[in-house]
Structure 1
């Protein structure tokens, strides 16, 4: 999990897959399960820190080729 250097909103994060893959279909089941765990863990932490209304989770991969999710509190 990485803090975005240029944040769309305070607390925006990037969650990166631990495997060196460039498309989501190549992520192993254990690694995908870990991604889900990390994203699920972000929600209560961000809620407590920033009192967001909702979280947007985006998988854009338009610049960085590694499988990753953007987690953006709103």
Structure 2
């Protein structure tokens, strides 16, 4: 699967920092999910409002656990 330059840059940074492969997969999943949720807007064009709406969606519509929301937030902050 071919990734965007943005996703590739995230992957490189994760590997440079020595994060585990599981963390890499998780972070990339949440970042891609966030981008798709926001109609493919580039993350540099989004801010706190989009993050808040995404986390709210995860909690209210997807009924994910608090720790899952935290994982998603950590990925977005990264």
Higher share in strand: 1
TM-score by shorter chain over 0.5: no
- TM range, normalised to the smaller chain? 0.3 to 0.5
- Which fold has the larger relative contact order, with Cα–Cα distance below 8 Å and residues 6 or more apart in sequence? 1
TM-score (norm 1): 0.34
Higher share in helix: 2
